Amino acid sequence: MPKARWSVSYVAYQSSDILDLSRRRRTMPVIKPISDLRNRARDIARLCHEGDEPVFITRNGESDLVVMSQAHYDRLQAVVELYRRLGEAEHQAARGAKGIGHREMMRRLRARLP
């Protein structure tokens, strides 16, 4: 499976940053008409960055687009990559594949440190 060009971005986040997405208290979603995106793009961008939440854009009263900051998108992609890797590990475990122990994993991680 070819790697997506954003696959490296998940490395920059600690697990606590990633998990914070699921712990965050959800508020009412920000919903704006597409005319606001056209006429007030800076305001929409400010909402995305300050609230760190996506803004839902509607066209003729129907959901059409979702706009979010690059940082928020990168974190979402990191969560997707984490779940993909966890699913792969669960699949390998179900097939009987033997993993590595804690000590070996810590040795490998320490070897990667500068």
| 5-24 per-position pLDDT tens digit | 333 333 444 555 555 555 55
| 73-95 per-position pLDDT tens digit | 999 999 999 999 999 989 998 99
Length of the chain: 114
User: Positive or negative CA dihedral for 45, 46, 47, 51?
Assistant: positive
pLDDT at 60 over 90: yes
How much is the mean pLDDT over the chain? 83
d(CA 53, CA 56): 10
The dotted CATH code for 12-112 is 3.40.1620.10
Question: Could you tell me the pLDDT band of residue 101, with boundaries at 50, 70 and 90?
Answer: confident
Can you give the residue ranges of every domain in the chain? 12-112
